Amino acid sequence: MKNRAATHRKLAVHGLAVELLNEVPSLGEQASHWLHPFEADALPDGIACTTGQIRTYDPAEVMRHLSPTAVPVATPGQLLELYQEGERFWLVDDRWGLCEINVLKSTWRSWILPHPTLDPVRVAEMAVLWPLAQLLRPKGLYLLPAAAAARGGFGILIIAPFNLEGELRALIHAGYNLVGQRWVAVREDGGRIEMLQMPGEVERESSPRLRDTAMGPASRWVDLTSEHCGIGQPHAFCDAVLVIEPGRRLNAHVTEVAAQRATDTIRRAWPITELHPFRKHGQLPMKLSQRCRSWQAQLSRRPEDLLVLLDSIRSPKCSAMVTLPSASLSAAPASGAMKMAM
């Protein structure tokens, strides 16, 4: 039964060869949603391939792949444990399972617990996208859990510590296209930073009091590019990086980060723990700060306020800091911007 349930995928992820063997049927639908656009009948000869396996947790098998001499790696603010021995890393998370990554061989194995406490989307992120991001980065392709949008030749990378479903919907209604709604691929191209489309989903925003306890895990997620036909964009060059501060406040504001502080600001907000972050392939925060304008924003509870902030950023006359009035006063300009775009 295990062999019949396994799926073997050959993928060309923005030009990089990947093979994935999945033996956990519960993750098949989610993996297919993310990876279907990259499906390939055959992979080119002579190209080094990144390979991954997704397996059901088997204590005896897992023990054979662990090392007693591995040492802990610091992961500040993360609900996971990371261990290292040479070019091998182990990600341990009692919410879903663990993953072994071999950077030198460009391979990974993820073992999924029988009853993970995370929903299938987040399990698939940690078992598939997280290790894949670590192994594609040395090859020049960065997979980031961040949003990316573009309009009129202006592209922006948005790094946020919380859900942005409302803000992304506001941007869509204002004429922005989405390059990435929860994950995006990034690489250098001719001295510029290019953002490449990654399929994905965002979590629906709803009041805890109104949440239906019978709602299944999958129904809490929505693919905005499926809801709004034609708003997905294959790629865009990054002109600005917007770092969102934790929490929401009464007033929204945005401040441009001085060039000498931009790298540290982006690095502190970096949305993914990186293996070997200080090697050559781990310098994307510095490259972003050098080639794009960097901004730091505080969002309000009005999703439309982000649109007003982005319009200010795009203006050549924008000052170093823009603060919006309170929600009641900011409704008029925000609604006006929405009406013009629609």
- For the chain, which residues make up each domain, given as ranges? 2-139, 143-341
On the question of pLDDT at 152 being above 50, the answer is yes
Could you say which architecture CATH assigns to the domain 143-341? 3-Layer(aba) Sandwich (3.40)
194 pLDDT band, cuts 50/70/90, is very high
Read off the pLDDT of each residue in 90-102 and give the average, rounded to a whole number.
Answer: 96
Q: What is the pLDDT of residue 206?
A: 66
On the question of pLDDT at 196 being above 80, the answer is yes
pTM to 2 decimal places: 0.88
On the question of pLDDT at 30 being above 90, the answer is no
Q: What are the backbone angles phi and psi of residue 100, rounded to the nearest 5°?
A: -110, 130
Contact 322, 310 (CB under 8 A): no
146: CB partners within 8 A, 6+ apart: 157, 158, 159, 160, 180, 183, 184, 271
Q: What is the pLDDT of residues 307-342, one digit of tens each?
A: 999 998 987 666 567 787 765 444 444 333 333 222
Contact 82, 89 (CB under 8 A): yes
Q: Is 205 helix (H, G, I), strand (E, B) or coil?
A: coil
User: How far is Cα 234 from Cα 46, in angstroms, rounded to an integer?
Assistant: 27
User: How far is Cα 121 from Cα 200, in angstroms, rounded to an integer?
Assistant: 10
